[in-house]
A and B are shown apart, each in its own frame.
Chain A
Amino acid sequence: MSKILKYDLVALLVLFIIVLFGFPTFLGFDGYELNLYSRYLSLGIVSMALALSWGTTGILNLGQAATFGIGSYIMAMHLKIKGSADLPDFMVWNNVDVLPWFWVPFHSLSFTLVAGLLIPALVGGLIGVFMFRARISGVFVAVITLAFLVAFQLLVVNYQGYTGGQNGLTGLAPLTLFGWTVDTYSIQFYYLVAGCLIAALVIGLYLVHSKFGLILRAIREDANRTRFFGYNVASYETVIFCISAALAGWSGMLYTLVLQFASPTYMSVSFSLGIVIWCAVGGRNSVIAAAVGAIIVNILQGKLSDVYVEGWHMMLGATFVLVVLFMPRGLHGLVGTVWHRLSQRKADKKPQTVLSKKAKTGQTEGGR
């Protein structure tokens, strides 16, 4: 077991304890607050999904909100059908007389849950094949994903009769899982979301620490050299893009459950760049740190935006600039450096520089 894996497992355990016992106790098991924290935890998953493609593989996806939005709408479609006696109300308003064919399968919960992972993955896969087969990388990936996001949001808003348009999907029924009607203000629901987050992190960690993850990091460091070694870089990139999209869809489904609402604002450019911010603040090179970044930034936003109505955005922008400038590896890098210095002092053995540790784990200052 490598040292870095040990660190990650310890971090996961600590996070597990905080999320499962720390938060609820700290919040006094208050329903409203638990719901708020469920929201933060669900966003942790999408931030972690971005860390897989961006931090690990070096693919900066500025359109992550699109797959997140697909997931959230899929869940909302199921709950909307469930909550409507016959046709969903907004369809009646838009003179849609029969339930469109692509809505019909969402009567079934199991189909919905599978589709919420597979459809985003499929979309991610298509975009991935489209881009990576042409060996497009770096800034161009950022532009294509951004353009796709803008176009996708316009589409969703435009077809009001099928999507609810600008209003999104509101008036959703509560979810029923195995006969249990989910109350989103309960500790059980909070544990459901927390369980999802931990499960997603375990999947992410497994991927990163497998041989597959090693090749992804090789691609980040030097795609051409990896190609010369005989690896099919485009396939690896596409697969991780798919996985990242599926996780984003999962996160979106939970987000709809928490807020009981799906809105086109989940697919806005600012939300998408928000995900990038959380991931960067936490630390793009570590899936756990990325999730923690999302949780921390959102907690702060919840606390500060009430107090500093106008100043909050200023702080967010400033924090972000400072993080990019001085902490390119986010909080994760900061903790790593401090930890390293401390353990050096303790061990008092021959000095081991931060650099050599980095060389071991294949991390570089600033991802490309």
Chain B
Amino acid sequence: MDVVFNQLFAGLSMASILLIIALGLAIIYGAMGVINLAHGEFVMLGAYTTWACQHYLGFGILLSLPFVFVVVGAIGWLIERTIVQRLYDRPLDTILATWGIGIMLQQLVRIVIGPESRFVSGPDFLRGNLEIGNVVMSNYRIFVIFFSIAVLLATWALLTKTEFGTKLRAVIQNRSISECYGIESKRIYSLTFAYGAGLAGIAGTLITPLFSTIPTMGTSLVVDAFLVVIIGGLGSIIGAAAAAVMIGELTAMFSLVINDTLGRIGVLACVIVLIRLRPRGLFPENTRG
């Protein structure tokens, strides 16, 4: 039984990482219908920014978080202003353009910083484990789980409790009428994109102590994040959270009964079937009039 509990925790830990990566993607997708394939590269940039903070300034991970959020958010804002903005009426083309952006960002990091894997050390006070009976939970992973819940709540508050959120929801509901009320939809979109990119950057920061930081790390992450968003439903952040937990736990349970390779294939198969059965996602929201 302990084995199952340990696996449940592992699944939750995977889910939290997935969620924090996918959340930004979900917001961008929900707001503008843009599938951003460069999202994995934003995560990668976040990881590298963290590395730079630690390497040159001696910052710990937690201290780097705000910096990373601002830096990657700014990069996202710039990309939205120059490229993505021109493609809002062509949703499928954004997939292609952002893939191209992703290739460029990867190559840029490779040329500027180098292709080898970088090392970022995790926070010291989060060493070790929390043990409850035979259930062992890594402190750092617990921290990531709580952090992702916090980010989820903050995002929810931003969308529902602030003026910016109200405007964004208005624009999503009906862009032209919102424009008549004096909402600058372009500005709202740019800020939303920047926020989504910033979240991806934070995800990058959080996973550096666990994963290998390399220029190509985003490619594998973006596929999973992409799946989470689609299963969750159109831009629904609650849906994204549910989908992330589902994929994380499925992966962990498959891994328990078979192995990691076949488990991953099993998860993908479940995802395909789920999209077929519920093409509008787990929690479809009536948006984008």
**Direct A–B contact present (CB less than 8 angstroms):** yes
Select from chain B the residue with minimum beta-carbon distance to A131. B276
**B272-A367 in contact (CB<8A):** no
CB proximity of A132 to chain B, nearest CB, Å: 11
User: A139-B35, A368-B92 in contact; A150/B100 too (CB < 8 A)?
Assistant: no
Report B-chain residues with C-beta under 8 Å of the C-beta of A148.
268, 272
A60 to B93: give the CA distance in the assembly, Å.
10
Q: Among the listed B35, B264, B272, which residue makes an inter-chain contact with A144, where contact means beta carbons less than 8 Å apart? A: B272
Beta-carbon contacts under 8 Å, A53-69 to B: 60, 62
Which of A78-86, A151-159, A247-255 contacts its partner?
A151-159
Q: Does B230 contact A (CB under 8 A)?
A: yes
Select from chain B the residue with minimum beta-carbon distance to A325. B86
A316 to B96: give the CA distance in the assembly, Å.
12
**B275-A140 in contact (CB<8A):** yes
**A314-B104 in contact (CB<8A):** yes
**B111-A310 in contact (CB<8A):** yes
**A270-B219 in contact (CB<8A):** yes
Q: C-beta contact mask, A206-250 vs B, less than 8 Å → 1, else 0?
A: 000000000000000000000000000000000000000000000
**A318-B261 in contact (CB<8A):** no
Q: Does A146 contact B (CB under 8 A)?
A: yes
CB proximity of B177 to chain A, nearest CB, Å: 24
**A313-B103 in contact (CB<8A):** yes
User: A138-B92, A313-B106, A367-B92 in contact; A324/B97 too (CB < 8 A)?
Assistant: yes
Q: Does B107 contact A (CB under 8 A)?
A: yes
Q: C-beta contact mask, A250-285 vs B, less than 8 Å → 1, else 0?
A: 000000000000000000011001001100100000
**A136-B279 in contact (CB<8A):** yes
CB proximity of A225 to chain B, nearest CB, Å: 19
**B223-A321 in contact (CB<8A):** no
What is the size category of the interface that chain B forms with chain A? 35 or more
Q: C-beta contact mask, A322-333 vs B, less than 8 Å → 1, else 0?
A: 001100100000
Q: Does B188 contact A (CB under 8 A)?
A: no
Select from chain B the residue with minimum beta-carbon distance to A155. B265
Q: Does B127 contact A (CB under 8 A)?
A: no
Q: Among the listed A139, A154, A324, which residue makes an inter-chain contact with B96, where contact means beta carbons less than 8 Å apart? A: A324
Report A-chain residues with C-beta under 8 Å of the C-beta of B66.
none
Residue among A60, A143, A368 with the most chain B CB within 10 A? A143
A280 to B102: give the CA distance in the assembly, Å.
17
Q: Does B135 contact A (CB under 8 A)?
A: no
Q: Does A100 contact B (CB under 8 A)?
A: no
Report A-chain residues with C-beta under 8 Å of the C-beta of B219.
269-270
CB proximity of A324 to chain B, nearest CB, Å: 4
Report A-chain residues with C-beta under 8 Å of the C-beta of B86.
325
Q: Does B137 contact A (CB under 8 A)?
A: no
Q: What are 8 A-B residue pairs whose CB atoms fall within 8 Å in the complex?
A: A143-B226, A143-B230, A150-B268, A273-B99, A277-B99, A313-B106, A316-B103, A324-B96
Further contacts, 15 of them, CB under 8 A, given A320-B103, A325-B83: A144-B276, A146-B226, A147-B227, A147-B272, A151-B265, A269-B219, A276-B99, A277-B100, A310-B111, A313-B103, A313-B107, A316-B100, A317-B100, A328-B90, A368-B91
Closest 8 CB pairs of A and B: A317-B103, A320-B100, A317-B104, A151-B268, A321-B100, A366-B90, A324-B97, A314-B107
User: Contact residues of A with B, CB < 8 Å?
Assistant: 60, 62, 130-131, 134-136, 138-140, 142-144, 146-148, 150-151, 154-155, 158, 269-270, 273, 276-277, 280, 310-311, 313-314, 316-321, 324-325, 328, 366-368
